[in-house]
Structure 1
Amino acid sequence: MKENKIAHITSVHPRFDTRIFLKEVRSLSEDKRNVCLIVADGKGDEVSNGINIYDVGKPNNRVSRLLFSWIKITYTVLKRRIKVIHFHDPELISAALLLRLFGVKVIMDIHELVIHDIDDKDWLRKFFLTKIVKFIYSIFERIGIFISYKVILAEAGYTNYFHNKYKSQLSKFSVVRNVPKMELIDSKPKLKRDGNKNILIYVGLISKIRGIAEMLETIAILDDTFELWLIGRWDSEKLHSKCKLHAAWSKVKYFGFLPPQEIYSICKSGDIGLSTLHPVENHLYTTPVKSFEYMACKLPMLMSDFPYWKEYYLDKAYYVNPLAPKDIAGTIVSILENTKYKNELIEKAYHFAFQNSWEKEKEILLKQYKEII
């Protein structure tokens, strides 16, 4: 199908982003679609798993990225005579609009509720810019929805927002959840560990609103048999430096940002997975990919007591106030003491994860492409 060229484009995400490359792009390639990836990370062009990756260069700063990366990506799409683009960043709506005028078909992939994420940006609140940025973004969001043939949501919890706001365009929307590839998880062995330790694991962006301060306070309360293992990127180097000064940092092991294959081996070696995010609007109706990864790795998980999470995950997780380290620590001890219930929960959670795997979601993705190509 060489006449149906497809490009996934991103100016923000890394080239081997789990959702974009490992799941969506590779699924299209396996379906014999002529697909490529266009990025802006400065690592150069390459071919991976038979897929061409084109690099437009890493911008010097955020302003440069906003002003120039979308232009370079647009040029690359036109130069490669791409017929369909699938874009992953709100800042690429300008590129999508211009390419739409050139006859390129557009798919918009929404990873998060940006309109609510803006509320959580401390630097915007500091300069009283939140309302202005939300107003500007809402205009761009409307343009993005209007010009897109398909709009893909990464979370089922986003549907209420978009269905209520864009009632006249409901046929464009579908949900392709960001859940794990079970075949990849099942094939990974456990990581060797000290059997005398109780390992708490957190996977994902490490930030204030995702509970890093409370996790450190929790590990400080627990005795020296406990360790906290962190996997992911820091929201800022300033936050990383501040956390390293915490009295409990000696009980923390930081693995850095890792590919899924390595993450799964580590998770399988843990005792409890943490997903104690703060109750901000952008978290309340998500189903974090880490939750499915924990379940698939047979790692019992402790989650924030959001009503939506308790309704969705039911008896496949433990719940706690994410802002109360003492309660979190007490619940952790209780989980480890009640082995029988924990093992029953692990089995139910594993089967739940298997029913919600990428192997099923990719069929929804491929259906969207069949409808427009």
Structure 2
Amino acid sequence: MKKICHFSSVHRGLDIRIFRKECISLANAGYDTHLVIDATAADMAEAASHGVTVHPVAPDAQGGRLSRMVSHARHCYHAARELNADLYHFHDPELIPYGVMLARSGKKVVFDAHEDLIGDIHAKDWVPVRARHAVAAIAGAVQDFGARRFSAVVTATPFIGSLFENLAKQVVVVNNFPLLHELPPAQDVDVSQRKSVCYVGNIHKHRGIQEMVKAIGMSGEQLLLAGDFRPGLLRDEVTGYDGWQHVRECGVVDRKGVADIMAQSFAGMVIFHPVPNFINAQPIKMFEYMSAGVPVIASDFPLWRDFIEGNQCGICVDHTRPDAIADAIRHLRTHPEDVVRMGANGRRATAEKYRWDREETKLLSLYRALLEDRERSRSMRDTEDHRLSEA
């Protein structure tokens, strides 16, 4: 049985893409699957029930961002290296130097690029504006250096995949589409009982929290808000808005909590700002809303318009106008027939096109090819060593 090791210094616990999709898919395919990540004892037990062995590496509780990027990344690498896996698959740009070291030692190494790194840096609040260009240039150069040396680069969207063309040996787009069994189909929920709007995910100004709270106040409806505020000061600001009285703060919820929130919602919001890393993104929450039969209210980006209006499963709005967002909320609240129609269209689109099991096939095909190549290379080395020993 081939041993696979996924490792991450940024993500925590049983991450949806890393664990619930990729690692479980690999374990189900018969691989001895290991995951090095910051995890709890409960995470380890649940992972074991799915055939995945989690090796917890906790970051320094007193350390800050720099500590995570340097010290914690190094600890994750050492834990991963000790496993002596046949193939390594890592998920964070700060781990690129360690991925290169593993590749130089003869290991098959896959880099999973979840985001547009350069675009993401230009939107980081903690990077001084004047330094962003230089930081992005350095990070981009490191990423390009690594991409040329890894066995393959897996990307979460076609746009990110295009950034590695003519750089990586192989680029495989494994879209972060939903697991259909996680969320209830539209016909399982009485639309008349859906009395709220929801947002599930990281909470940040670039993800539209200010506009969403203002809009929900104008609409007079209720917003079910699930996720972490980043940074904390943002919460102090939005809780002072008039619309906050219409917000029910749910905090961080597990997957069952996500399903429960969506089952109560007649619309799900994705009101991102047009920062470089978002314009061409494919937010998993958008597809999860669709999978749950929840109409989507989304920023009017060209790519998102293709998904939402192309599948007639929601309404695209000007993200800068809370009044336009409120109009979309009111329309869906007063037109339950549209909620039913759009919800069914979204569910159908995910069932037919945007589903994880189709992406899983691409991942497993890549692994088979890489591991077969490893075996061929090992066999050739053994043959050559035998020939030289007899010479």
TM-score normalised by structure 1 residue count = 0.91
Counterpart among 271, 275, 278 of residue 270 in structure 2: 275
Which 4+ stretches in 1 moved above 6 angstroms? 42-45, 187-194
Aligned partners of 1:305 and 1:322 also within 8 Å: yes
1:21-57 CA-partner distances (Å, limit 9, x unpaired): 1111011001110110001457699442232111233
Larger Rg computed on CA atoms: 2
Partner of 1:351: 348
Question: Structure 2: which amino acid aligns with 1:370?
Answer: R
Question: Where do 5+ consecutive residues of structure 1 fail to align?
Answer: none
Partner of 1:150: 152
Partner of 1:13: 11
Q: Secondary structure at the match of 1:147?
A: coil
Q: CA deviation at 1:176?
A: 0.7
Partner of 1:129: 131
Whole-angstrom CA distance in 2 between matches of 1:248 and 1:191:
28
Q: CA deviation at 1:363?
A: 0.9
Whole-angstrom CA distance in 2 between matches of 1:8 and 1:168:
22
Question: Structure 1: which amino acid aligns with 2:31?
Answer: R
Q: Secondary structure at the match of 1:123?
A: coil
Q: CA deviation at 1:74?
A: 2.5
Q: CA deviation at 1:192?
A: 11
Whole-angstrom CA distance in 2 between matches of 1:148 and 1:137:
17
Whole-angstrom CA distance in 2 between matches of 1:286 and 1:28:
25
The 1:21/1:33 distance shift into structure 2, 3 A limit, reads same
Partner of 2:380: none
The 1:90/1:262 distance shift into structure 2, 3 A limit, reads same
Q: Secondary structure at the match of 1:230?
A: strand
Question: Is 1:55 aligned with 2:56?
Answer: yes
Question: Is 1:235 aligned with 2:236?
Answer: no
Counterpart among 266, 269, 289 of residue 284 in structure 2: 289
Q: Secondary structure at the match of 2:128?
A: helix
Partner of 2:360: 362
The 1:131/1:41 distance shift into structure 2, 3 A limit, reads farther
Question: Is 1:23 aligned with 2:24?
Answer: no
Whole-angstrom CA distance in 1 between matches of 2:187 and 2:180:
13
Kindly tell me the number of residue pairs found equivalent between the two proteins: 363
Q: Secondary structure at the match of 2:279?
A: coil
Whole-angstrom CA distance in 2 between matches of 1:57 and 1:32:
28
Q: CA deviation at 1:122?
A: 2.4
Counterpart among 14, 21, 32 of residue 34 in structure 1: 32
Whole-angstrom CA distance in 2 between matches of 1:349 and 1:46:
34
Q: Secondary structure at the match of 1:122?
A: coil
Aligned partners of 1:44 and 1:54 also within 8 Å: no
Map of 1:150-229 to 2, 5 A cutoff? 150-163=152-165, 167=166, 169=168, 172-186=170-184, 198-223=195-220, 226-229=221-224
Q: CA deviation at 1:189?
A: 11
Sequence identity, in percent? 27
Map of 1:294-333 to 2, 5 A cutoff? 294-313=289-308, 314=310, 315-333=312-330
Question: Structure 2: which amino acid aligns with 1:39?
Answer: I
Aligned partners of 2:109 and 2:150 also within 8 Å: yes
Question: Structure 2: which amino acid aligns with 1:217?
Answer: K
1:224-269 CA-partner distances (Å, limit 9, x unpaired): xx11111122222221232223222221111112222320121021
* Larger displacement relative to structure 2 (154-163 or 322-331): 154-163
Q: Secondary structure at the match of 1:58?
A: coil
Aligned partners of 1:191 and 1:266 also within 8 Å: no
Q: CA deviation at 1:193?
A: 12
1:175-233 CA-partner distances (Å, limit 9, x unpaired): 111111112224899899995x831101111100110000111112122xx11111122
Aligned partners of 1:44 and 1:55 also within 8 Å: no
Question: Structure 1: which amino acid aligns with 2:78?
Answer: Y
Map of 1:99-118 to 2, 5 A cutoff? 99-118=102-121
Whole-angstrom CA distance in 2 between matches of 1:131 and 1:160:
21
The 1:350/1:187 distance shift into structure 2, 3 A limit, reads closer
1:300-349 CA-partner distances (Å, limit 9, x unpaired): 11111111211233122211101100111112212233333432222221
Aligned partners of 2:290 and 2:350 also within 8 Å: yes
Aligned partners of 2:186 and 2:292 also within 8 Å: no
Root-mean-square deviation over aligned CA pairs: 2.4
Counterpart among 234, 242, 260 of residue 255 in structure 2: 260
